[in-house]
Amino acid sequence: MTTKTQKTKAKAKSHSKRRREAMPDRPIPGAAADLEPSSRPGVPMEMEAQPLAGARAPIEPQHADVPVFKHAGRKQMPPVFGTAQPPKGLSGVLRKVAYGYPDHWARHWMVLLVADRVDVWEHRLRRSLPWGPATVAALVAGGLTWRRLSRA
């Protein structure tokens, strides 16, 4: 019994010695400061369940006056969500279709990627609309002036 304990102790000792030898002599301030797992904030990965400091329950549900999508694999809306850039136009329709599929379906993501490209084109089109007629008018006016000047 004694020998076994001694052996274990000796083994542990040589192990820790090996570790210390392997430790670098690096000019890093505080090297090995967090060698002890207990000094690492993420160990163990899952803590004993308890509400975090400052948390308040139950959480009042947020209201939105714009459409906010939830993917079909989720039962209900979470109490808090973002309301930025509400869906609109054809990209909005496509996004609605995408969120009709649960998020573990590839088509959920594929339709979203297509919607993203459509969104960019819709946006460019919308932006160019007020400029379109103005540009045409400018070109026509410029052309007329040019013709008049070159005739003179």
Partner 1 sequence: MRALTYQGPYRVEVENKPDPRIEHPQDVILKVTRAAICGSDLHLLHGLVPDTRVGCTFGHEFTGEVVETGREVSQLKKGDRVVVPFNISCGTCFYCQRGLTGNCENSNPASDVASGVFGYSHTTGGFDGGQAEYVRVPFADVGPMKIPDDMDDESVLFLSDIFPTGYQGAEMGEIKGGETVVVFGAGPVGLFTMKSAWLMGAGRVVAVDHVPERLAFAAHYAKVETVNFKEVDDVVLHLKDMFDGRGPDVCVDAVGMEAEGSRAHRVLGLGLKMEAGAPTVLTWCINTVRKGGNVSIVGVYGPPWNFIPIGTAMNKGLTLRMNQCNVRRYMPRLLEHIRSGRVDAKAIITHRFSLEQAPEAYHLFAQKRDGCIKCVLAPHGHA
State the minimum distance, in angstroms, from the CB of residue 112 to partner 1: 4
**Which residue is listed with tokens 């803590």?**
47
C-alpha closest to that of 74 among 114, 39, 44, 101 = 101
Give the contacts of 93 (CB within 8 A, at least 6 positions apart).
87
| Residue (106 or 149) nearer to partner 1, CB | 106
State the minimum distance, in angstroms, from the CB of residue 8 to partner 1: 18
| Residue (32 or 129) nearer to partner 1, CB | 32
State the minimum distance, in angstroms, from the CB of residue 65 to partner 1: 10
Give the contacts of 109 (CB within 8 A, at least 6 positions apart).
98, 103
| Residue (54 or 152) nearer to partner 1, CB | 54
State the minimum distance, in angstroms, from the CB of residue 24 to partner 1: 6
Helix, strand, coil: what percent of the chain each, to 5?
A: 50, 0, 50
Do residues 91 and 122 touch, judged by C-beta distance below 8 A? Answer: yes
| Residue (51 or 133) nearer to partner 1, CB | 51
Report the distance separating Cα 25 and Cα 105, nearest Å: 51
